[in-house]
Structure 1
Amino acid sequence: MFSSYKFSIGCVQTVCKRYAGHSKWQNIRHTKAAKDGEKSRLYIKIGQQIKIAIQETGNADPTYNSKLSQAIDVARVNHVPSATIQSFINQAKNSSDKSKVLWIDLKGPRGCFVIIQTLTSNPKRTKDLITNIIKKHSLTVENNLRNQFTHKGIVVAKPNSNFKDIEELCVEHAIEIGAEDVKHEPEENVLKFICEPIYLKQVSDKLKEIGYEIEDADDHFLPNSTVSLDEVVMQDLSNAIDKIYTLPDVIKVYDNIE
């Protein structure tokens, strides 16, 4: 069982949310990611995020480009070497590629949604590739589904072994560092601290100062509500998402499945 705490000024309340737990869907996706070596694509995806930040603003200086600064922070938290980060920046500055961010929204059975972030120089080609994949599965292209999600930052942290009463302590720490929410996942011995994306580095740095080991920090689109699907449908959608992830233009995929 997991615990989730969401707080506002003067109160702390306990709530349960899909993205903190271990549902059948999350177990399917976790197993697939481990098997398929999804982590091996980390550098590629971070390089794409740095490129997006520079192309959207035209500025390669993180001091004056908050999106680039955030992308660099994510890279550092994920242990990307400084030389590699600088190489990504240089490549983006010198690139004549006119790739742009394209979001593709998909709707599936029983009100499930999948939103896909891509970086592409040929939107029609990218959309056609995704459409070709989903026609073999129970998904259709829709518009404006991102409003069914909320953009947040998530820092995944492992508590210090000396911490006692982590259920209560994590709430104190979350309030102290300015996080909005914290989820405890005792099965993996990690906590997920939720914040506004612009505060990812601040929250990550403060957690390290307190004594946490940072395992991951990135921005996500979290579903405003979730849907339940039977195992057959979940497996079909998981297979579709696996295929979508193999496309080089695809950066991130989010869904609202429990």
Structure 2
Amino acid sequence: MSGHSKWHNIQKTKGAADAKRSQIFTKIAREMIVAVKTGGSGDPANNSRLAAVIAKAKAANMPNDNIKRTIDKALGAGNTDNFESVVYEGYGPNGVAVIVEALTDNRQRTAPEVRHLLDKFGKGLGATGCVSWSFDKKGVLVLDSEDLDEDTVMMDALEAGAEDMQASDDVFEIYTDPDAFNDVVAALEGKGYTFLEADVQMVPQNYVKLTDEEDIKNMEKLIDALEDNDDVQNVYHNWEQD
């Protein structure tokens, strides 16, 4: 896959993300509850959306007890959590494309908050489809490349059904069709691989480099503020970070 490494874009903020581990677990748990409810099953073998969220949870080092407890909660008759998926598109500084995926129980709360942040630190909220055309939906698996042979990983990934692999920044990034994501995860886990990241994501087709220091600071603030919002699940952008 051409284009700048997605992992390169996020690894600089990984330390900050690790410090917010409880918040990350809370967001994954919300996603898991939605997956169980919409899929009608707490068994990942019969619920592909749940299987994908569990892969994401494992890559984030979410304990198995937390995963089981969340699934049990979602299956409980007394659970009244009712979240809907909403996607916002807009622009950061200097036209950087931004996609915000949220799970919310109140659109009237979430939309103004996302709009405010895009207005404050970027160029504002856009119409549906204004930037998503420049992203591809892909399964993304990231492996620590230390002690792994690139040719072997490539062969295993392709045999598992992956589309492509990149080697960069001490990691291997494996890309899959979203529909093949769970099968590729299962096949590679069966060969003993563990992932630094495993999720279906919006991958940019091209990247924008920011050179103005104020733009860089505002883009960092925008990402941090969006990720700190309880309703926001994922933030995708095409900012090329050094």
In the alignment, structure 1 residue 31 sits paired with structure 2 residue 12: yes
For 2:185 and 2:44, how far apart are their aligned partners in 1? 18
**1:110 positional shift:** 4.1
TM-aligned CA distance change 1:82 to 1:198, over 3 Å: farther
Task: State the TM-score, normalized to the length of structure 2.
Answer: 0.83
**1:160 positional shift:** 6.4
> Which residue does 2:155 correspond to in 1?
172
User: Mapping of 1:1-258 within 5 angstroms?
Assistant: 6=1, 16-20=2-6, 22=8, 26=9, 30-35=11-16, 37-93=19-75, 94-143=78-127, 144=129, 145-159=131-145, 161=147, 163=149, 166=150, 168-185=151-168, 187-188=169-170, 190-210=171-191, 212-232=193-213, 233-258=215-240
For 2:147 and 2:124, how far apart are their aligned partners in 1? 47
**1:53 positional shift:** 1.3
TM-aligned CA distance change 1:78 to 1:199, over 3 Å: farther
User: Structure 1: 5+ residue runs without aligned partners?
Assistant: 1-5, 7-15
- Please give the root-mean-square deviation of Cα atoms over the aligned residues, in Å: 2.6
Task: State the TM-score, normalized to the length of structure 1.
Answer: 0.78
More strand by share: 1
**1:199 positional shift:** 3.1
Secondary structure of the equivalent of 1:248? coil
**1:201 positional shift:** 3.9
Structure 1 window deviating more from structure 2 (208-217 vs 225-234): it is 208-217
Asked if structure 2 preserves the Cα contact closer than 8 Å seen for 1:158 and 1:214, the reply is yes
Asked if structure 1 preserves the Cα contact closer than 8 Å seen for 2:32 and 2:70, the reply is yes
Percent of matched pairs sharing the same residue: 25
TM-aligned CA distance change 1:173 to 1:62, over 3 Å: closer
